[in-house]
Structures are given as C-alpha cells and as structure tokens.
C-alpha cells in the first residue's frame, strides 16, 4: 500500500480551502441580499404611501375648490354678481352675509386662487397644485370634473 504524496495532500488541502472560501462568500452575501430585498420592499411601500398621499391631496384640493365655487355661486345669488378680481375670495367672508367662516388653505399650504374673469369659466377657483405655479398642468380647480 502506498501513501499519499505531499503534493497530493497539498492539492486536496488547497481545493478544500477554495471550496470553503467560495462557501463563505456565498453564505456571507445571503443576509446582505435579504437585507437589500427588505430595503427594496420598504422603499416600494413608501413610494406607494407617497402616491396615496398625493392622491388624497388632489382629492382634497378638488373638494375645496368645488366648495369655494359653490360659495361663490351663493354670493352671486345674494349680490347679483361674483366678487371682482380685486375683492377676491375674501369677499366670501364679508358682512352682511358671509358665505364662509374662513378661507381654506390648499393641501400644499398655499391659498386658493381666484380669477374673474376666468379662462375656462366665468370665474375660477383653483390651487396651484404640487408645483406651486399658477396656470400649469397640475393646477386643480373648479373647472375640472
């Protein structure tokens, strides 16, 4: 019977070391990959939450604009006209027959805008929307269904 040569033992030990090194690298990456997957899942949930908040803000702005427009219609019934551009929405708060107790602020923290005459209707009430700029595509107002 013949024994193993030192070269054979060295090759076996070297192959075992390489296999252990590969196994270590693979196993070490597993928890990290799991953490990345969890982080991706949480980011997706946050983006969905932000989308819901954006949708809720749009609905709130549309509702406020619609309510302000209805208050303007009541004002017109009482006064025979809409408030002038100079009077603005503040006219809805004026005595002797105020239409509102206070003017709402849009969901982005800015006052609603009033236009008389309006570009899309006789008068318009609108929020400048998320970008805060008047007369851009994201404006939300009494003219939109």
**Any domain includes 21:** no
The structure's pTM equals 0.67
**Any domain includes 27:** no
Percent residues over pLDDT 70 in the chain: 94
Evaluate whether 114 touches 83 at the Cβ level (below 8 Å).
yes
**Any domain includes 90:** yes
Number of domains present in the structure of the chain = 1
Residue carrying the six token digits 């970008």: 131
Residue 130 is given by DSSP the state T
Give the pLDDT confidence of 129-142 residue by residue, as tens digits.
999 988 889 999 98
Residues 6+ apart with CB under 8 A from 111: 89, 103, 105
**Any domain includes 107:** yes
Quote the distance between the C-alpha of residue 137 and its chain's center. Answer: 16
The Cα 79–Cα 39 span in angstroms is 59
* Boundaries of domain holding 109: 36-141
**Any domain includes 63:** yes
Return the CATH number at 85: 3.30.700.10
The Cα 18–Cα 40 span in angstroms is 32
Give the pLDDT confidence of 57-78 residue by residue, as tens digits.
999 999 999 999 999 999 999 8
**Any domain includes 11:** no
**Any domain includes 5:** no
């Amino acid at each position: 019977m013949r024994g193993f040569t030192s070269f054979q033992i060295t090759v076996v030990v070297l192959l075992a070391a390489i296999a252990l090194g590969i196994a270590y690298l693979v196993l070490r990456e597993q928890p990290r990959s799991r953490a990345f997957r969890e982080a991706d899942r949480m980011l997706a949930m946050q983006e969905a939450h932000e989308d819901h908040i954006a949708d809720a803000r749009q609905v709130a702005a549309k509702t406020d604009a619609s309510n302000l427009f209805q208050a303007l219609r009541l004002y017109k019934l009482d006064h025979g006209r809409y408030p002038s551009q100079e009077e603005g929405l503040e006219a809805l708060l004026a005595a002797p027959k105020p239409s509102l107790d206070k003017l709402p602020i849009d969901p982005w923290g800015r006052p609603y805008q009033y236009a008389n005459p309006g570009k899309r209707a006789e008068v318009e009430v609108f929020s400048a929307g998320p970008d805060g700029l008047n007369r851009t595509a994201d404006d939300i107002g009494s003219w939109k269904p």
